[in-house]
Chain A
Amino acid sequence: MPTINFTLNGKPVSLNTDPTRRFLDVLREELTLTGPKEGCGEGECGACAVLIDGHITNSCILPLGNVSGREVMTIEGYRETKRYRVLEEAYIAEGAVQCGICIPGMIIASESLLAHNPHPTDDDIRIGLSGNLCRCTGYNMIVRAVKRAATRGKGLW
């Protein structure tokens, strides 16, 4: 079994386990990070999203082996950042959270989008969040929340 080293929320991790395991399972079961959720389990809903080297990735179809040498941030690490606080305020202010299960993924998608495009149009936001499904909100409030965060978080992204 190859040893897999990577950085998780800023700390080095070294694991000796099957590299074909789904990264989502490793996070939730081995590393007890339960922020990433399992929705579809096949890459379609974004509930399991994490940041790998700053880019959104669905951990339910990511084999652990592909994380080797990379920097991973989950919602647990991201919530310690200033950018998170701006997104949190914006999501609350716009009423963008209902049951909440999609929200860790939505926040990760919002961060990945804003990091690459700090001044997104409505269309850019819809494209940036196109891999994240929400059964509750109907999306408009989420789009508004990302817009609000982009405006209020000036200079952070």
Chain B
Amino acid sequence: MVSHVIPKTYAEALTVLKAGNHRVIAGGTDMMVRHRAWAGLPPLFDKPVLFAFTLSELKYVKEDEQVICIGAMTDLETLLHHERTPALLRQVIAIMASPAIRYVSTLAGNIVNASPAADSLLALYALDAQVVLESTSGKRILSIEKTIVGPGKTVLHDDEMVAEIRIPKTRFTHTMFRKVGGRRADAITKIGFVGCATVNEGIIRDLRLVFNAVAPVVVREKSVEALHVGHSVKNVLSDTDTLMHHYSEHIKPIDDQRSNQHYRKEAALRLARHFLDTLA
């Protein structure tokens, strides 16, 4: 019988995963809730579990000149207070869940859970984060967009786990983050937005607009952004309707218990427009 494993080392974890019969659990803040059984009973998992959260080898924040590297088992509360954490990511983490959840949850878990409403993804998409996947046969490094392919779906193979998240160091002249939720703590987002831009002598040099909870995956349209780079802020502001029209094709929210399609779309587009206004 295959059973649950608490590996002592990362190498042991990868060896256990090799057969493809285990499910990685990090902090468990998604997995324990999703597979919850009656009180008093253990949760019901589809596969035996590999407990990775205690692997100290995967708890780190390192940097070189270009990139910040975050070990997959680094908890969100540590990231919130870490001096190397990019300011935008820190801002997003600050409104995620509550301290009790942040001490035991991870960016890797937020990524692999692949919820269209996941908060950290807003920052990770905006910052062009890369995900390092590893198995006993080696590493793959993928962009965050290529890692997540649908709600709850990633390209991870059964024998792979997320080892690290890499974030290129980028400076912007303007950033904005807004989460529209039912309350300030412990709220699942109705719609979220991150805007980043660099404006130099009135010209947009870099523009990134990211939306969550408005489509099956987080929305960032690099081709639409590119249409506006090199143009003056004035020009772009004189015709925000065209830009909004482009996004309106990609913003296809759903109705659920937290909000409805109409509100989500309207709020998303207004937040984007508001961000553009701040560039002037």
* Interface membership of chain B positions 184-203, coded 1 if the CB is closer than 8 angstroms to chain A and 0 otherwise: 11100000000000000000
Question: Residue on A with the closest CB to B3?
Answer: A1
Given A56-B103, A127-B185, decide whether A18 and B28 contact each other with a Cβ distance below 8 A.
Answer: no
Is A97 engaged at the interface, CB distance under 8 Å to the other chain?
no
Residue in B4, B27, B28, B100 whose CB lies within 8 Å of A131: B100
Residue in B25, B54, B100 whose CB lies within 8 Å of A58: B100
Residue in B42, B77, B104, B186 whose CB lies within 8 Å of A20: B42
Q: Could you tell me the distance in whole angstroms from the C-beta of A32 to the nearest C-beta in chain B? A: 14
Interchain CB contact under 8 A, A4 and B6: yes
Taking each of A2, A43, A58, A112, which has the highest tally of chain B beta carbons within 10 Å of its own beta carbon?
A43
* Interface membership of chain B positions 1-26, coded 1 if the CB is closer than 8 angstroms to chain A and 0 otherwise: 00111100000000000000000010
How many residue-residue contacts, CB under 8 A, span A and B? 107
Residue in A21, A62, A65, A109 whose CB lies within 8 Å of B104: A62
- Residues in B with CB closer than 8 Å to A128 are 99
Q: Could you tell me the distance in whole angstroms from the C-beta of A49 to the nearest C-beta in chain B? A: 6
Is B40 engaged at the interface, CB distance under 8 Å to the other chain?
yes
- Residues in A with CB closer than 8 Å to B99 are 55-56, 109, 112-113, 127-128, 130-131
Is A44 engaged at the interface, CB distance under 8 Å to the other chain?
yes
Interface of B is mostly: loop
Q: How far is the CA of A127 from the CA of B101 in the complex (A)?
A: 13
Q: How far is the CA of A2 from the CA of B4 in the complex (A)?
A: 8
Interchain CB contact under 8 A, A131 and B98: yes
Q: How far is the CA of A66 from the CA of B41 in the complex (A)?
A: 17
A-binding segment of B29-37, B64-72, B213-221? B29-37
Residue in B32, B42, B103, B185 whose CB lies within 8 Å of A61: B32
- Residues in B with CB closer than 8 Å to A4 are 6
**What range describes how many residues of A lie at the interface?**
35 or more
Taking each of B5, B33, B41, B184, which has the highest tally of chain A beta carbons within 10 Å of its own beta carbon?
B33
Is B97 engaged at the interface, CB distance under 8 Å to the other chain?
yes
Question: Residue on B with the closest CB to A54?
Answer: B103
Q: How far is the CA of A63 from the CA of B42 in the complex (A)?
A: 9
A-binding segment of B45-53, B120-128, B170-178, B256-264? B45-53
Interchain CB contact under 8 A, B103 and A52: yes
Question: Residue on B with the closest CB to A48?
Answer: B100
Q: How far is the CA of A51 from the CA of B265 in the complex (A)?
A: 41
Given A22-B32, A65-B25, A131-B99, decide whether A57 and B39 contact each other with a Cβ distance below 8 A.
Answer: no
* Interface membership of chain B positions 73-114, coded 1 if the CB is closer than 8 angstroms to chain A and 0 otherwise: 000010000000000000000000111110110000000000
Q: How far is the CA of A133 from the CA of B169 in the complex (A)?
A: 38
Is B182 engaged at the interface, CB distance under 8 Å to the other chain?
no
Q: How far is the CA of A49 from the CA of B98 in the complex (A)?
A: 12
Q: Could you tell me the distance in whole angstroms from the C-beta of A47 to the nearest C-beta in chain B? A: 11
Starting from the known contacts A22-B42, A22-B43, 9 additional A-B residue pairs (CB-CB under 8 Å) come to: A1-B3, A2-B5, A22-B32, A41-B39, A42-B33, A43-B101, A113-B99, A127-B185, A130-B99
Chain B residues packing against A (C-beta within 8 Å): 3-6, 25, 27-29, 32-33, 36, 39-43, 45, 49, 51, 53-54, 77, 97-101, 103-104, 184-186
3 interchain residue pairs of minimum CB distance? A131-B98, A130-B185, A65-B51
